[in-house]
Amino acid sequence: MNTTDILTVTDLKKYFVIGYGGILKRDPITVKAVDGISFAVREGETFGLVGESGSGKSTVAYTTIGMYRPTEGTISFRGQNLFEGNKTRPLGLKKEVQIVFQDPGSSLNPRRSIKQILELPLQIHRRDENRLEQVVQLLEMVQLPPDYMHKYPQMVGGGEKQMVAIARALATDPSFVILDEPTSALDVSIQGKIINLLIRLQNEFHLSYLFITHDLSLMRNVASRVAIMYLGKICEVAEAAEFFRNPYHPYTQMLLSSIPVISAEEEKLKPKKIISTGEIPSPVNVPSGCSFHLRCPERMDICSRVDPVMVEVEEGHTVRCHLYGQSD
């Protein structure tokens, strides 16, 4: 695999002011949706970003695509800062980075035909020649018949809507696609078909994926590398095979131990059962120190006082936990 990085995220922070408190209602109440994360996606790989609801993973997606501007930090695509100064992102750069949203029912305009939906990015990026032929090609890429162009989104099923959304993302001939939970809104019977389609398209068009999901088990057969997010921060990053074989962070171990299995052999491969206590804290009031320490069975005194830093425990395997990093 080509190990050149196509996307580099460095110390990314994205905060949202959701209100004001204090006696005079002037003190901002801030949600630290993403709080200083760093990772890189290599050319041609699928990088899995996994987290529970509220972890900040979708905020990473929306910031990367340009729907939000970072509060701090940088996102670079092939070495070019996507948010340099206050400049609008160049059109050529916009076409290179595309996104497939979680719910195709809300991401496709119900008042436009599938033909109009697929033509729009072709118009924006001035791909005017043989536009009808290009629409047919896009439908064929995602295994839909050409006559689907005359249908409207509400006339087709959820899986077919998502295929149209994937075709729309491919219309600009991108090299990097963000997949924001692309199968979570679909029936189980359709999910496998969409995953196989995405893998085929990746191989055929040499695409790089940032695959965002809450389904950790999905990453075993899809991702090249996996990163785990919790309350706006990354806990652990590793190659997929190493990640499932040898998880380090207690939160990662908890997630892996809770994956349902259907055989005793699979149960043996899971880490020991990790019992967490309490609920996920509010992102408005993140605990001091390690944000996971209130739920962690391995917590130490330092965990409540000092936020751990990422350390490399093995080549390519990094973890943010006091069990492997700094000590008191």
- Cα maximum dimension of the chain: 66
Buried b (16+ CB within 10 A) or exposed e, 282-308: ebeebbebbbbbbbbeebeebbeebbb
Domain, as residue range, for 278: 5-320
Where do the DSSP E strands lie in 197-302? 208-213, 225-230, 233-239
Q: How do residues 100-158 score in pLDDT, each as one tens digit? A: 998 888 889 999 999 999 999 998 876 667 889 999 999 999 999 999 999 999 999 99
Rounded to whole angstroms, the Cα distance separating 135 from 223 reads 29
pLDDT tens-digit profile of 49-77?
999 888 999 999 999 999 999 999 999 99
pLDDT at residue 35, rounded to an integer: 95
Helix axes 114-124, 131-141, angle to 10 degrees: 110
- Close Cβ partners of 195 (under 8 Å, ≥ 6 residues apart): 183, 218, 222
User: What integer pLDDT is reported at residue 197 of this predicted model?
Assistant: 96
Encoded amino acid at 93, one letter: L
**pLDDT at residue 275, rounded to an integer:** 66
Residue 30's pLDDT band (cuts 50, 70, 90): very high
Q: Judge whether 328 lies within some domain.
A: no
Least confident of 46-55, 66-75, 163-172, 279-288: 279-288
Q: Where are the alpha helices (DSSP H) in 89-215?
A: 91-96, 104-107, 114-124, 131-141, 158-170, 188-205
Q: Which residues contact residue 319 at a Cβ distance below 8 angstroms, ignoring those fewer than 6 apart?
A: 235, 236, 237, 248, 249, 310, 311, 313, 325
Whether residue 196 is contained in a domain is answered as: yes
What CATH number does residue 139 fall under? 3.40.50.300
Q: What percent of the chain has pLDDT above 90?
A: 67
**Rg (Cα) of the chain, in Å, rounded?**
21
| Res 272: pLDDT | 65
Per-residue model confidence as pLDDT tens digits over 186-225:
888 899 999 999 999 999 999 999 999 998 888 988 999 9
The residues pairing with 239 across neighbouring beta strands, listed in sequence order, are 225
What is d(CA 130, CA 176) in angstroms, rounded to the nearest whole number?
25
Whether residue 181 is predicted with pLDDT greater than 80 in this model: the reply is yes
Is residue 177 situated within a structural domain? yes
Q: Based on the structure, what is the number of domains in the chain?
A: 1
The pLDDT of residue 280 is 79
Tokens at residue 246, please? Answer: 């040898």
* pTM above threshold 0.85: yes
Percentage of the chain modeled with pLDDT above 70: 90
What residues form DSSP beta bridges with 226?
48, 238
Per-residue pLDDT at 328: 44
| Model confidence at 91: pLDDT above 70 | no
Please give the residue that has the higher pLDDT: either 268 or 169. Answer: 169
At residue 266, the pLDDT reads 52
Using alpha carbons only, what angle is made at residue 217 by residues 276 and 263, rounded to the nearest 5 degrees?
90
Per-residue model confidence (pLDDT) at position 54: 87
**Is 18 within the bounds of a domain?**
yes
Is 326 part of any domain?
no
Q: Is residue 327 part of a domain?
A: no
**Is 291:233 a contact under the CB 8 Å cutoff?**
yes
Q: Say whether pLDDT at 311 is over 50.
A: yes
Q: What angle do CA 222, 171, 148 make, to 5 degrees?
A: 90
Task: Provide the token pair at 107.
Answer: 């991401």
Average pLDDT in the 258-280 region?
A: 63
State how far the Cα of 33 lies from the Cα of 70, in Å rounded to an integer.
Answer: 11
Domain assignment present for residue 125? The answer is: yes
The answer to whether residue 312 sits within a structural domain is yes
